[in-house]
Structure 1
Amino acid sequence: MYRRPIYSMLVIFACIYMIQACHRPSSNQMSEEPIPDSISYNFHVRPILSDKCFACHGPDANKRDADLRLDIPEEAYKALKSNAAAHGIVPFEPKNSEVFLRISSKDTSYIMPPIATNLTLTATEIAIIEKWIKQGAKYEKHWAFTAPKKPAVPKVKNTTWVKNEIDYFVLDKLEHKKIAPNPEADKERLLRRVSLDITGLPPSLQMMDKFMADNSPNAYEKVIETLLASPAYGERMALHWMDVSRYADSHGYQDDNYRSQWPWRDWVIHAFNNNTPYNKFISWQLAGDLMPQSSKEQLLATAFNRNHKITEEGGVIDEEYRVEYVKDRTNTLGKAILGITLECAQCHDHKYDPFSQKEYFQMTAFFNNVKEVGLESTVGGPETFAKKPFMEISNADVQDILKFVNKQDTNKLIVSVMGDQDTLRKTYVLNRGVYDAHGEVVQASTPKSVLGFSEKYPKNRLGLTQWLFDKQNPLTSRVFVNQVWQEYFGRGLVKTSGDFGMQGELPSHPELLDWLAVDFMNHGWDIKRLVKQIVLSATYRQSAVIDPDKFNVDPDNIFLARAPRYRIPAEHVRDVVLSSSGLLVPTIGGPSVKPYQPAGLWEAATSGRGLLASYRQDHQASLYRRGLYTFIKRTVPPPVMAIFDASNRDQCEVKRLNTNTPLQALAMLNDPTVLEASRVLAARLLQDKGTPETKIITAFRRIVCRKPKEQEIKRLTTYYADQLNAFKQKANADKVLAVGEFPIDQKVNKTQLAALMGVITIIYNLEETITKS
């Protein structure tokens, strides 16, 4: 009887909600947004059609309704199959265009999109399409499939703000939006930002002091040059490429046994530190084995193509998995290098982009001739660590050709690489994408809507690389420039960095994107130069302070009136902790390492076979390597890394999620690495002379990379005094200090050590510590 009032209240609330819903304006009744004077198909009309119409009236012939196709003009203009007197679109005549009549209709049996789809057009969207038809319904080739041309640098009013060409494009848009950019960040925050962005590590105290004392006009540029010359730059750049390349230390699938691909990771770090031009960086990875007189280094680079998951399950069908590997390479090429969703055309023509299923399988033909099988061995077989074709790296190779490979022992080291068979394997269009449903035989080629494959190129992976770096290819340069921009601003100029197609976001600054893309090509695909351009810009140097008025106008900071503020990547969270505490072992390259991890995770999710059936934690120096080198078992990825949104490397990933969850706070409070780092840094500070306050200030500067404010010092010193008193009276210092394997100096005062360790743990748990701002 006590529940009846609750039910009554629920009924009342439901009635109120329904009444409010009935009086809520529909999408067509909402106030209209300003409509541009000149309507662009690419930037105003196509996004509407792509979202609301192309699923039924787009490129996929199998799903097309009424034989009406709206993504190309000749189809949209022609008479309807059901009514020869009617046309989908009649230029200049919206009242005679079935598209406009249908989308503006009130008749639920006639309106488009159909009611059953739950898709509706707003009044503004309908007005845009009407105005576009009135202006002639002119179609444009999709912006991303047109070769970029270098636009003129725009004129701006506030010329004193700009530092380089990037700023002209950004400021031009801000001035049109009547938004003023933020002032430059203070030197402490700017140094921390650029150090994290270029090396993934915080600046040292010595670097901070030197930069703060340097008042020369080029002080900031000198810091950038130092950071770009650091070996840590290659490690930082390699981290993104590990996600792109789906690098892991295990094969994946149920058994998920060990693989030895880490020498390829060493090559990637070396390539970035050596400033290998992007065209060579990609060409070697895709086709190093096919280069004239190819070297062992070029062959090692091709391991990129073999980083995909590989099965070792005994009951699988060999050909099914071989085809899966070929598709994976094709899909990775599409997403990582071309920025298009090729994989959507595996089973049928692409629903939104002009890629046919036939063109998809023509792309797979480039990767279909590898001398491999779907199942080479089961766990414990003769070639567990690498699958054929593979290369062996000898000690002589490391001393001569592959000096960058950090081979630490004399054991046999093999890496899966590329190598084509002598005879050409036939490539078929696979009906519905099924591995054994052979359709038409096809040869290697590329989507015509992007760029036709020239007859002068060989029909193999080497020819594919020549096609990719043809200056008329509209995607290759744009996509990489956008990825680099994303790494430094948290968001690409094209937000959907893996999809430049019809369903992708339009670029926020299209002219800037094209200027950077052409400039990048014209300067030899120089990656370090591109990075330097970005970080030297006034756009990058802005303060991250959020002005409420600007936030209301541009909450997502699309127009770049401030510096971005977001959590640093999972691996860099670890790097900041290790580096600031002095624990970091800066060795470059080598095998992956297994740091602290909760017991039983691997054992609970393993088949019980192979080298990775149980977790064997590393010790000594291996515990303190950068996050880049943490061992990744695909089926059980590192838990703390996963909590901070790291990829498990199942597939190509060009942009990570960036979440904020309570688990992240729990990890920072309880992770043995954080607690151990707090203890070690506390012990080192206690060895120095000075007051507790000076030690806390030093710790704060090492971790947060700025001098603390008076209020912060007061709170932290008060907390230290409270902790010291607690440990003197009743708390068990030994229990708190018993974390991690780094030895404790027995001469240190354990009460003071535990108290200062607590303060440092608090500093590590500040939001600012793991946030780029």
Structure 2
Amino acid sequence: MRLLKFSLIPLIALVGGWFLWHTFKQEKAIDFNADIRPIINTKCISCHGGVKESSGFSLFSRADALRKTKSGKPAIVPGAADNSELIRRILSKDEDERMPYHAAPLSSDEITKMKKWINQGAPWADHWAYVKPQKPALAAATNWSNHPVDRFIQARWQPDSLKPSAPADKVTLLRRVSLDLTGLPPTLSETRTFLADKSANAYEKQVDRLLASPHFGERWAAMWLDLARYSDTKGYEKDQYRNIWRYRDYVIRSFNQDKPFNQFTIEQLAGDLLPQPTEEQLIATAYHRNTANNDEGGTDDEEFRTTAILDRVSNTWEVWQGTTMSCVQCHSHPYDPIRHQEFYESMAFFNNTHDEDVPGEFPNLNKYKPEDEATIIQVKAWLQQQLPAEEAATKIKTLDNLLHFTEPKIHPHSFDQLTNAALSDGKFLGGGHKGYARLKHVNLTEKVNLILSVGSAKNTGTLTIRKDKLDGEIIGTYQNKYTGGGGSTQREIIKLKPTTGFHDLYFVFENAVQSNPEDYVCQLDWILFLESLPGADKPGYPETEKKLVSLLNTETEQTPIIYENPADLRRKNVVFVRGNWLTKGKEVQATTPRFLPSFSSYPKNRLGLAQWLVSNENPLTARVTVNRFWEQLFGTGLVESLEDFGSQGSKPSHPELLDWLALNFQHEQNWQVKKLLKFLVLSKTYQQSSKTNKTLLDIDPANRLLARGPRVRLTAEQIRDQALTTGGLLSRKMYGKSVMPPQPEGVWQVVYSGMEWKTSPEEDAYRRAIYTFWRRSSPYPSLLTFDAAGREVCVSRRIRTNTPLQALVTLNDTVYLTAARGLARRMQLAGTTPFYQIKAGYYQALFKYPNAYTLEVLLKLYQQTEQHYAQQPKELAKFLGQQNLTSLPKAQKLAALTVVSNAILNLDEYITKE
């Protein structure tokens, strides 16, 4: 009996263990992001999301999903799929009841997942991109490489048994990294130096040289200007000139200085709000003055000001957060947890800037000539003599603001109750005899001066300013002066009677002599209320005031910048109902969306927003940024949709690598782009040969696993700059105003504009593509053909196309033919026969000699071309230009070499990064 008892113990334990396992076994947990979110986004969200809530049911968030619907019951009962209306409707056989409504039913696998999800409590999870990254452990080092990038990349190869490709040959690698880091090919001298260098760090030395090149900034600024929607014109129908090239120079210099990206961010979004901002930091704010400005007569300035602000919101969220915010202007986001109201809370950061869609594009930063700067120093010195040091410093700051910004101006569209007065040409306030216009709610405390920017074709008449009513107390008078015709204006300072508080002001126009009552007494361009300048009763004040007025009338170079409204001009921020700027909803305050880290500890302005964007808590900025630079080097981002990290964007090909790079960029590299780029190009992943094979093409046709090097077409700018470099024509001149290289005749036949395309002289015609004058309504054609951005709006990712038009450009465009002729002349210097000349030209372009077959084809092309021009000598003048026809036989040989050069510059391997 005792023996039987002990023999039963193992059996009881086994049975009991099986029973317990069977009773308490858990189903595999459903992953909301991987299993459920794709079903919701593709099958449910169009009717039950942030835009539309059919039957009161929404899957916008877990709280929405679990609330009661119109039926009075929730559609989802956590832990009870069989009791959930959602499952009943998914399984219904009635076409009018089954969900998705009048669409294909869910698959059995999808239904199973939905049931398991609800039975497991309907847990919700944030999208991966909205969760703060945690630094993942590095994959194990291998014999191939110990570089962190390579370790992550190689770990991803294991399921497919992939192996690294051989390293690219030295010439290919140098060309690749040169084009990537500077946008220019290496010179023959640089190539020979690298080939001769047998040291272990030969490649790293070349990387360091390229990072130190002044042309580094030009290459990376070209990428950034797409994001900034940089253009030399204002956009819309007139598309007039905009003087904003100093912003482009700021971007180039910032990349060359390796300015930390967090500082680069803060300066562009809020440089004006920094304590004692420098001229460079003010110019940086032109980032958001690249929005379009509508000069067309009859347009509503407030409408287009609002349009610009809306664009700034969407742009900021796309560039720094990889988030598609624009749709939230009209409704809550269809796929991501951003509510309609949150768009306008973001808009509140930008809505208090002083730009108002006026033709002058105010506010501008005034750049004075050296002689005028000397006068400014004299005025400041006089002020310092009149006041104690601390008070003088305050007044000098006011003077600097007046001279360098002249803000806050009040523009004609701010006046109302116009009687015998009107907005002339959409930008001047003109008044006839006894005409008047009202300016509401003006803060006159301490404002004892009024600056008028006024124009008049008369020497008679007055402008009287009355307080509170049309016949109210006169607080200021301007005696009209002739300023010249054609809308010319001048600035005048008039004294105001000291007044406190807010008042309505009536500007009354009167003629001193009889005239047509419809004739304007004068026209106001803008006005500015100003505090008193000290020392009005001191010797030398009249002369000082004259100098000040003279400076206000001095012609300056003006760059549009961001300028924050003072407190008494602060705008109210409201929701636009259904996105309509005319339909105002409830008032909101500046803050960031709730699904992201708290904004509560930051100032509620653009500076606070910029600081929040680059804070350690923000989960997106570093990810989005390193992904953008990765895409530039490897052809495709780790997240392919650079512009969208949301739930409808692409999944990261290497999520752990993305997070590791993002955190490393923030903390170890301190946001320095040069460190990031060096780190990436020193990886063996980057240095692999781009040659492929059937196995790689079958497993990974798009090269997302990176078992071979990148092979993509060069950018529009790189293709043009490389051709000019190979032809010995590229100007290395940097910075300054945009230039106009050759382009086809008739491209600029634009209405409402007297602008002309005048080809720049001498080397300016052959400067780098980044300096090409960019007109939104008519971008430079050859760059546009190679997929350059039009710059009307932000472009995060250029889509590469391959069309016959591209070959037509490289074969026929003036710039490419000129570059081919330049290469032909270099070929003539390299040898005495076509055989050696063609070999030398091919090497000049591709840093290798042609194989026998290629050389044979090019020699045959040379011979056919030479024979053609021998038979058709009149064609030579058309092809080479009369100036190159000094000797007919020499011209025929030059033409033949030019055609061969043109063919070389059109080769696929020439316009491709191998």
- SS of residue in 2 equivalent to 1:498: coil
- 1:72 corresponding residue in structure 2: 61
**What is the CA-CA distance between 1:671 and the residue it aligns to?**
0.5
| Identity in percent | 41
- 2:31 corresponding residue in structure 1: 40
**What is the CA-CA distance between 1:267 and the residue it aligns to?**
0.7
**What is the CA-CA distance between 1:204 and the residue it aligns to?**
1.0
1:582 corresponds to 2:728: yes
Distance 1:726 1:748, change over 3 A: closer
- 1:88 corresponding residue in structure 2: 76
**What is the CA-CA distance between 1:256 and the residue it aligns to?**
0.5
Q: Does the aligned pair in 2 maintain the 1:319–1:435 contact within 8 Å?
A: no
1:147 corresponds to 2:132: yes
- 1:757 corresponding residue in structure 2: 898
**What is the CA-CA distance between 1:124 and the residue it aligns to?**
5.0
1:543 corresponds to 2:689: yes
1:312-711 → structure 2 map (5 Å cutoff) = 312-374=295-357, 376-377=358-359, 383=360, 387-396=361-370, 412-423=556-567, 424-454=570-600, 456-522=601-667, 523-603=669-749, 606-610=750-754, 612=755, 614-711=756-853
- 1:769 corresponding residue in structure 2: 910
**What is the CA-CA distance between 1:730 and the residue it aligns to?**
4.2
Distance 1:682 1:69, change over 3 A: same
Cα distance in structure 2, aligned partners of 1:123 and 1:192: 53
- SS of residue in 1 equivalent to 2:123: coil
Cα distance in structure 1, aligned partners of 2:618 and 2:703: 30
Cα distance in structure 1, aligned partners of 2:886 and 2:634: 43
Distance 1:178 1:440, change over 3 A: same
Q: Does the aligned pair in 1 maintain the 2:355–2:562 contact within 8 Å?
A: no
Distance 1:120 1:738, change over 3 A: farther
Residue type at the aligned position of 2:597: L
- 1:715 corresponding residue in structure 2: 857
Cα distance in structure 2, aligned partners of 1:652 and 1:233: 22
1:195 corresponds to 2:178: yes
- SS of residue in 2 equivalent to 1:601: coil
**What is the CA-CA distance between 1:490 and the residue it aligns to?**
1.7
Cα distance in structure 1, aligned partners of 2:831 and 2:144: 45
Residue type at the aligned position of 1:108: E
Q: Does the aligned pair in 2 maintain the 1:585–1:625 contact within 8 Å?
A: yes
Residue type at the aligned position of 1:414: Q
**What is the CA-CA distance between 1:273 and the residue it aligns to?**
0.3
Cα distance in structure 2, aligned partners of 1:220 and 1:276: 24
2:216 to 233, 241, 249: 233
Cα distance in structure 2, aligned partners of 1:576 and 1:356: 47
Residue type at the aligned position of 2:640: K
Q: Does the aligned pair in 2 maintain the 1:57–1:68 contact within 8 Å?
A: yes
1:297 to 258, 270, 280: 280
1:216-255 → structure 2 map (5 Å cutoff) = 216-255=199-238
Cα distance in structure 2, aligned partners of 1:557 and 1:59: 36
**What is the CA-CA distance between 1:104 and the residue it aligns to?**
5.6
What is the RMSD of the two structures over their aligned residues, measured on CA atoms? 2.6
The one-character-per-residue Cα deviations of 1:387-446 (angstroms, maximum 9, x if unpaired) are: 11110223559999xxxxxxxxx9842100011111221111111222222211111111
Distance 1:492 1:102, change over 3 A: farther
Residue type at the aligned position of 1:391: L
1:274 corresponds to 2:257: yes
1:171-186 → structure 2 map (5 Å cutoff) = 171-186=154-169
Structure 1, 718-727 or 262-271: larger mean CA deviation:
718-727
Residue type at the aligned position of 2:902: T
Q: Does the aligned pair in 2 maintain the 1:733–1:751 contact within 8 Å?
A: no
**What is the CA-CA distance between 1:762 and the residue it aligns to?**
0.7
Q: Does the aligned pair in 2 maintain the 1:348–1:356 contact within 8 Å?
A: yes
Q: Does the aligned pair in 2 maintain the 1:352–1:502 contact within 8 Å?
A: yes
Cα distance in structure 2, aligned partners of 1:203 and 1:398: 44
Distance 1:37 1:701, change over 3 A: farther
Q: Does the aligned pair in 2 maintain the 1:288–1:301 contact within 8 Å?
A: yes
Cα distance in structure 2, aligned partners of 1:176 and 1:204: 42
Q: Does the aligned pair in 1 maintain the 2:66–2:76 contact within 8 Å?
A: yes
Cα distance in structure 1, aligned partners of 2:851 and 2:812: 27
Cα distance in structure 2, aligned partners of 1:225 and 1:710: 37
**What is the CA-CA distance between 1:89 and the residue it aligns to?**
5.7
Cα distance in structure 2, aligned partners of 1:675 and 1:487: 28
**What is the CA-CA distance between 1:496 and the residue it aligns to?**
1.2
1:211 corresponds to 2:194: yes
Residue type at the aligned position of 1:41: F
Distance 1:356 1:207, change over 3 A: same
**What is the CA-CA distance between 1:138 and the residue it aligns to?**
3.0
- SS of residue in 1 equivalent to 2:190: helix
Distance 1:445 1:697, change over 3 A: same
The one-character-per-residue Cα deviations of 1:264-315 (angstroms, maximum 9, x if unpaired) are: 1001000000000000001001111110111111111111010011110111
Distance 1:421 1:641, change over 3 A: same
- SS of residue in 1 equivalent to 2:586: strand
Residue type at the aligned position of 2:840: T
Q: Does the aligned pair in 2 maintain the 1:733–1:750 contact within 8 Å?
A: no
Distance 1:602 1:160, change over 3 A: same
In structure 2, the gaps of 5 or more residues are 1-26, 375-553
The one-character-per-residue Cα deviations of 1:491-534 (angstroms, maximum 9, x if unpaired) are: 11111111111221121111111111111110210110111111
**What is the CA-CA distance between 1:211 and the residue it aligns to?**
1.5
Q: Which has the larger radius of gyration?
A: 2
Cα distance in structure 2, aligned partners of 1:373 and 1:637: 26
Q: Does the aligned pair in 1 maintain the 2:136–2:659 contact within 8 Å?
A: yes
Distance 1:414 1:748, change over 3 A: farther
**What is the CA-CA distance between 1:162 and the residue it aligns to?**
2.3
**What is the CA-CA distance between 1:51 and the residue it aligns to?**
2.3
**What is the CA-CA distance between 1:637 and the residue it aligns to?**
1.1
> Which structure is higher in strand share?
2
1:57 corresponds to 2:48: yes
Cα distance in structure 1, aligned partners of 2:742 and 2:627: 36
Q: Does the aligned pair in 2 maintain the 1:716–1:759 contact within 8 Å?
A: yes
Q: How many residues align?
A: 706
Cα distance in structure 1, aligned partners of 2:906 and 2:685: 29
In structure 1, the gaps of 5 or more residues are 1-35, 378-382, 401-409
Q: Please give the TM-score of this superposition, normalised by the length of structure 2.
A: 0.74
Q: Does the aligned pair in 2 maintain the 1:163–1:536 contact within 8 Å?
A: no
- SS of residue in 2 equivalent to 1:115: coil
Q: Does the aligned pair in 2 maintain the 1:299–1:418 contact within 8 Å?
A: yes
The one-character-per-residue Cα deviations of 1:455-490 (angstroms, maximum 9, x if unpaired) are: x32111111111111101111111111111111112
Distance 1:328 1:714, change over 3 A: same
Cα distance in structure 2, aligned partners of 1:187 and 1:89: 64
Q: Does the aligned pair in 1 maintain the 2:826–2:841 contact within 8 Å?
A: no
Q: Does the aligned pair in 2 maintain the 1:51–1:503 contact within 8 Å?
A: no
Structure 1, 101-110 or 751-760: larger mean CA deviation:
101-110
Residue type at the aligned position of 1:72: S
